[in-house]
Amino acid sequence: MDEYRGQKVLITGGLGFIGSNLAIRLVEAGASVTILDSLDPTCGANYFNIESIRANVDVVEGNTCDLALVKKLVRGTQFIFNLAGHVSHFESMQEPFADLQMNTIGPLTVLEACKHENREARVIYAGTRQAYGRPASLPLEETQLLKPVDVNGVNKMAGEWYHIVYHQAHGMPAVSLRLANTYGPRQLVKHARQGFIGWFIKQAIEGAEIQVFGDGQQLRAFNYVDDVVDAMLIAGINDRVIGDYFNLGGGQPMTLEAFVQLLLRIAGRGSYRIVPFPPEKKSINIGSVYSSSEKFNAATGWAPRISLDVGLARTVEYYQRCRAHYW
């Protein structure tokens, strides 16, 4: 990743899960990193996430919807990782305007700032598998219709398409990766509202009983955060991906029940129980889902490298060690 050495990089949402892991890798690669983060209490920002690089990054506490601020930050920047956003499907149904603000106005503001100040900057957007909704067939491919089942999915779909439009209309080199079930160190695990994985990990470490909704037979495939960071860094320097969108598929799909069993084995603690969906979650449940990353692999050669065993072991070890900062 020598292409990032000495380059100016902006990461929105850089105190959060994926943003902070990305920031650490970019600092290691010799980039000059600025983080913009709103520290919204409903999001995953955590200063401890960047503890190891605290002296080597600029952190700007501010909102990606603040056009004047973002305009200043994008000037002279070569790479922008447009990651700030809200990830809770459930909360998006309760607070749809907050989700809209963060996932629609925020990314659009970043693009608009670049349109005015810096059309050369590569913009890498964190899209989501959620935009597909319930899959028509598996694995999900990019040729399938986007049929989001919750407000978060709608807003993230719009956030992605602004990037495609700004590429086509203004020639700006933007790209979207559709993430799915990313896990690893630095994820918010305090509560279940940002996805089940972090929550399950916390409960396993505590020796608590994990509740698996449905019948536990829903299939998922998981991406270790280092693999996702790799994909983002590759998307930043590979010209073949510009103006397009790509699934990031994970490893072998497995049932939620098998995932939990593996997690409990690795944690050496905890138990689980299969319980019916609460009604308000059932209505936005998407069943079995996993993605094909063949399109991204064909364009870039990327494939996930960290197996679920190894990734989960690293993750459990991280939270055991740094528990005080995440509980």
Interacting residues with a copy of itself (CB under 8 A):
93, 96-97, 100, 104-105, 108, 112, 143, 145-151, 153-155, 157-158, 161-162, 164-165, 168-170, 283-284
Closer of 114 and 260 to a copy of itself (Cβ): 114
| Closest distance to a copy of itself from the beta carbon of 310 (Å) | 36
Gap between the Cα atoms of 19 and 37, Å rounded: 10
DSSP secondary structure letters along 228-279: HHHHHHHHHH-GGGTT-EEE---SS-EEHHHHHHHHHHHHT--EEEEEPPPH
Q: In what order do the strands lie in the sheet with 32-37?
A: 57-61, 32-37, 8-12, 79-82, 122-128, 174-179, 245-247
Q: How far is the CB of 26 from a copy of itself (least distance, A)?
A: 29
**Residue 158 or 303: which CB sits closer to a copy of itself?**
158
| Nearest to a copy of itself of 26, 100 (CB atom) | 100
d(CA 243, CA 97): 28
Nearer to a copy of itself, 158 or 192 (CB): 158
d(Cα 185, Cα 319) in Å, to the nearest integer? 7
- Residue 78 has a CB neighbour count (10 Å cut-off) of 18
Smallest distance, a copy of itself to C-beta of residue 284, A: 6
Distance (Å) of CA 235 to CA 94, 117, 189: 33, 22, 28
C-beta of 168 vs 307, nearer to a copy of itself: 168
* Residue 94: CB minimum distance to a copy of itself, A: 10
Q: Which C-beta is closer to a copy of itself: that of 136 or that of 310?
A: 136
Closer Cβ to a copy of itself, 99 or 230, answer by number: 99
Measured from the CB of residue 282, what is the shortest distance to a copy of itself in angstroms? 10
Q: How far is the CB of 175 from a copy of itself (least distance, A)?
A: 15
Closest distance of CB 325 from a copy of itself, Å = 35
E strand spans, the chain: 8-12, 32-37, 57-61, 79-82, 122-128, 174-179, 182-183, 209-213, 219-220, 223-224, 245-247, 254-255, 271-275
CA 225 to chain CA centroid, nearest Å: 9
- Compute the least distance from the CB of residue 269 to a copy of itself, in Å: 36
Helix (H) or strand (E) holding 271: strand 271-275
* Closer by beta carbon to a copy of itself, 96 or else 257: 96
Q: Which of 12, 190, 179, 158 is nearest to 87 (CA)?
A: 179
